[in-house]
Amino acid sequence: MSTIDLACVGESFEDLIFAGLPRLPRLGEELRTKSFVRTYGGGATITAVAAARLGVPTRIVSGLSDGALARLRAEGVQITNLRKRDELHAITAALSTPENRAFATFDGVNAELGPRFVTALGRVQARIVHCALCPRDIPPMARALRALRERGVKVSLDFGYDLHLAKDPFLPSLIAEADYLLINEDEAVLYAKRRTLAQAASFWREHARHTVIKLGAKGSLWISPRGIVEEAAPKVQAVDTTGAGDAFNAGFLAGLLNGLPARRALRLGNTVGARSTRAVGGLDGLPRIEEL
């Protein structure tokens, strides 16, 4: 692989999004909506497209459907596809209100990708490798990330909200290989095993190099051994929040790659994340660099 600025490694999905719901349905209840979008998502996909639109040379390493391949190529993203021809791609159905979401997912090829990600990480060439995934087997992944860091590559991690991961005894070894841990408020509390964000912030200051906590409409904060930097989010009229955290990741990482100081990197992440909510799905609302 040729050296680029950003490599996004992780799962990809075909997204079926039922948007515009007044609320999430109760058990046994059917809600109807006139807003439906069929698109592509997953943390690696959304972050890769968002970064490419910001002018960052970007590669995705994932298991991709034919439709996702076409969309990513059209966005100028370089591709390493780990899906074999006879494997089914992953599908997520999302129920979305302007404030919240619920999901049902068919894993497809994503259930097979753990060892392939580890192998691919041994070949990737990038200034920053961003892993948007929740590893089922942490030790080989941690070793692969350590090898990247020993080559001078910066590593960022966003592993989402996973109760099993929170109980995994190897989780500290994974966190130890992250230069930047990108998580939301609920994840910060879960993985720190604390009750409040303030308690979690103290934990992350002691146990991680750099932790960026995404607070949605409240903005974000960057925790390091030096202290905490906070930045408010811009006000937008949200249509759908699908992928906003992944869009934030792209803006924040683009800021790092361009040498921005902490507050401005957070501000760029907040701006990209907020603007991504202007359209249904994780891709169509992503801003282009000329819009910023």
CB 241 within 8 A of CB 277: yes
Q: What is the DSSP letter of 26?
A: P
Which helix (H) or strand (E) is 143 found in, with range?
A: helix 138-150
Task: Please say whether the dihedral angle defined by the alpha carbons of residues 165, 271, 286 and 6, taken in this order, is positive or negative.
Answer: negative
Q: What is the pLDDT of residue 118?
A: 98
Q: What is the pLDDT of residue 2?
A: 61
List residues bridging with 156 in a β-sheet: 130, 180
- In this prediction the pTM is 0.93
Burial of 195 (0-12, 13-18, 19+ CB in 10 A): exposed
Can you tell me whether residue 226 is helix, strand or coil? Answer: coil
Q: Which domains does the chain have, with CATH numbers?
A: 4-12+43-87+110-291 (3.40.1190.20)
Digits of tens for pLDDT over the chain (292 positions)? 567 999 999 999 999 989 889 999 999 999 999 989 899 999 999 999 999 999 999 999 999 999 999 999 999 999 999 999 999 999 999 898 877 778 899 999 999 999 999 999 999 999 999 999 999 999 999 999 999 999 999 999 999 999 999 999 999 999 999 999 999 999 999 999 999 999 999 999 999 999 999 999 999 999 998 899 999 999 998 887 889 999 999 999 999 999 999 999 999 999 999 999 998 889 999 999 999 8
Q: Which residues of 57-66 are buried (b: 16+ CB within 10 A; e: fewer)?
A: bbbbbbbbbe
CB 139 within 8 A of CB 131: no
